[in-house]
Chain A
Amino acid sequence: MAVGLEHFLILSAVLFSIGLYGALAKRNAVVILMCIEIMLNAVNIAMVAFSRYGHLLTGQVFAIFIMVVAAAEVVVGLALVIAIYRSRETVDVERIDLMKW
């Protein structure tokens, strides 16, 4: 059985769903950041697969941009995690609840 575009898209959809579930269900802020990375990498897989099977380089360029920007985002995210940990001694998002409606 040859591996085709649809296999990569299914892999990408499954990874994206795992990441989205984790981002919504996990309680540790660092783990949520990891789940967001899974979602972004799912997108990268789809982009590169489209690029490979459609013979379009744009998808690979897009994937590289996503990696670079995701790295910048995580830097700010971890800085905020450290700022919270210094004042609250926890990174559990269910206990970070000073403000609620």
Chain B
Amino acid sequence: MNLYLLAPEISLCGLAIVVILLDLVLKRKGILAVVSVAGLIVPGAFTLALWGREETTFAGMLAIDQFSLFFNLFFLVMAALVILSSVDYVSKFRAFQGEYYALVLLSAAGMMLMASTRELISIYVALELVAISLYALTGFLKDPKSSEAGMKYLLLGAVASAVLLYGMAMVFGLTGTTHLEEIAQAIPGGGLLANPALLLGIVLLVAGFGFKIATVPFQMWVPDVYEGAPTPITAYLSVASKAAGFAVILRVFYEALGAVSLDWGIIFAILAAITMTLGNVVAIAQTNIKRMLAYSTIAQAGYLMMGLAAVSALGSSALLFFLGAYALTNLGAFIAIIAISNKIDSDLIGDYSGMARRAPLLALALAFCLISLIGIPPTAGFMAKIYIFNAAVQYDLTWLVIIAVVNTAISAYYYLRVVKVMYLEAPPSEEAVPSSASLRAALSFCCLGVLLLGVYPWALLRITQAAVDIFFP
């Protein structure tokens, strides 16, 4: 048992406890955000120190490999950006500022564990560590909308966990083990139709994990929760929670259920087609920008699932690249919205009219991120879509790519509508919209990342290819 392999997660949990304790004694609460962001360097350094190692510990429960280390870094960066974009928001709270940051850090620790465990019990515990922290964060404002969002998220999330557990029980009953690689050895041959218990188990697992990544038909919580939650948490939910869901799906389905990949590949292909179409079509009708982006994240989950449907090294490395590009882009869009709504106190698209005159840089950043969400060069979104469409074509899923291209065209309509409102319509007042230094720092990081991945994607591509190598020896 080598505790050093768990050092990133342990130090992150320790940081969360330090933040809560500091909250008790400190008078100036602004320091809490500084401590949280600066403290993230410690788990980040441990992750980099472990880089390149391939080991398991705790009787094979925890795996340290390129895949889990990639996601460790991913979630640490996401947590740092979310904390930076929360500073203004949280400084308005009268109490519980430390708990807010601590919950963000604890859920990041849970997400890191989700990507690195190889055993069903610990996957479940990690998943609930993420989920329970996020329920609390969603209802954090305690106003009617936020509480309602938290309640809906918790009730639906708990049902999804129960469904997931029933699927795990079926898989455990059939194979007699909870370790992923032992499950892979114990899976009987003959495909899914010959094994109704395994079919039931897989369908329930897809349903349970599908809730986390918000695929149809488990997407109904997304718009309400995204609208009601504090906006930085909405951003966090839309990128980190979704990425954790994809990480755990890759782990479970490739390591444990690789023998029946033909069967679940087609399930994901069909779900991908329905998910992206529904997300894009419903997004057109939205007037609230948070709700519009909520449906847009559903559509993006559809594109991401193309990487699951194309069961190949190319497909899963494209999926990881898409996750990275999508995370920076979506987070950038949300940070711009946080900065604008801090000032104008409204989430309606109509109230963004003339924003290009009131806040030229914010409007430019938001427009740039929306263009990346469509997938127009020279942005990360363009490169990500090229790679994932290419992977799907190579896997003979041309029909899915055609649907995805049509969807991309549909999505351009509602993304560009926001750009049009900001640039072509007259502002209601000429008053400037200021933003704080931490928001500007987080936003510039996201926009530079999006641009960099758009013109020089190879560095990240190499990392994602190395990360998925463990599934395709």
- Does B177 sit within 8 A of A, measured CB to CB? yes
| Residue from B121, B148, B150 in contact with A62 in the complex, judged by beta carbons closer than 8 Å | B121
**Taking the nearest CB of chain B, how far is it from the CB of A82, in angstroms?**
9
The answer to whether A43 touches B150, judged by C-beta atoms less than 8 angstroms apart, is no
Among B121, B139, B169, point to the contact of A46 (Cβ < 8 A).
Answer: B169
CA–CA, A67 and B45, complex, Å: 35
Q: Residue A14 at the B interface, CB < 8 A?
A: no
A72–B132 touching, CB < 8 Å:
yes
Quick one: given A77-B155, A99-B145, are A43 and B173 in contact (CB under 8 Å)? no
In A53-74, which residues have CB < 8 Å from any B CB? 54, 56, 58-59, 61-62, 65-66, 69, 72-73
Q: How large is the interface on A (under 10, 10 to 19, 20 to 34, 35 or more residues)?
A: 35 or more
Contacts of A16 in B (CB 8 A): 162, 166
Q: How far is the CA of A59 from the CA of B121 in the complex (A)?
A: 10
Q: CB-CB contacts of A18-53 with B at 8 A, as 1s and 0s?
A: 011001100001001100100110110011001000
A23 touching B155, Cβ below 8 Å: yes
Closest to B136 in A: A76
Inter-subunit contact B147/A66 (CB<8 Å) = no
- Whether B128 contacts A69 by the Cβ 8 Å rule is yes
Decide: A59 near B172, CB < 8 A? Known: A72-B132, A99-B148, A99-B228.
Answer: yes
Chain B residues within 8 Å of A47, by CB: 169, 172
Contacts of A81 in B (CB 8 A): 151
A2 at the interface (CB under 8 A from B): no
In angstroms, Cα B151 to Cα A98, docked, is 12
User: Which DSSP category, helix, strand, loop or mixed, fits chain A's interface?
Assistant: helix
The secondary structure that dominates the B interface is helix
- In the complex, are the beta carbons of B121 and A98 less than 8 A apart? no
In angstroms, how far is the closest chain A Cβ from the Cβ of B317?
A: 33
CB distance from B127 to the nearest CB of A (A): 9
Q: Are B143 and A87 in contact (CB under 8 A)?
A: yes
Contacts of A23 in B (CB 8 A): 155, 159
CB of A84 within 8 A of CB of B148, answer yes
Is A11 interfacial (CB 8 A cutoff)?
no
* Cα–Cα, bound, A66→B291 (Å): 34
Given A43-B162, A43-B169, check contact A77 B154 (CB 8 Å).
yes
In the complex, chain B residues 94-153 whose Cβ is within 8 Å of any chain A Cβ: 120-121, 124-125, 128, 131-132, 135-136, 139, 142-145, 147-152
Closest to A41 in B: B162
Q: Which of B150, B152, B165, B291 has most chain A Cβ within 10 Å?
A: B165
Given contacts A76-B136, A99-B223, whether A33 and B172 have CB atoms under 8 Å apart is no
Contact between B159 and A39 (Cβ–Cβ < 8 Å)?
yes
B177 touches A58 (CB 8 A): yes
Q: Which of B142-193 contact A (CB under 8 A)?
A: 142-145, 147-152, 154-155, 158-159, 161-163, 165-166, 168-170, 172-173, 176-178
A80 to B147, CA, bound (A): 6
A1 to chain B, nearest CB (A): 22
Q: A residues within 8 A CB of B139?
A: 79-80, 83
Q: Which residues of B contact A10 (CB under 8 A)?
A: none
Other A-B pairs, 5, CB within 8 Å; known A33-B155, A39-B163, A39-B166: A50-B173, A50-B176, A62-B121, A65-B121, A98-B145
Give the 9 A-B CB pairs with smallest separation, nearest first: A39-B162, A50-B173, A46-B169, A83-B147, A43-B165, A99-B224, A36-B158, A84-B147, A69-B128
Residues of chain A at the chain B interface (Cβ within 8 Å) = 9, 12, 16, 19-20, 23-24, 29, 32-33, 36, 39-40, 42-43, 46-47, 50, 54, 56, 58-59, 61-62, 65-66, 69, 72-73, 76-77, 79-81, 83-84, 87-88, 93, 96, 98-101
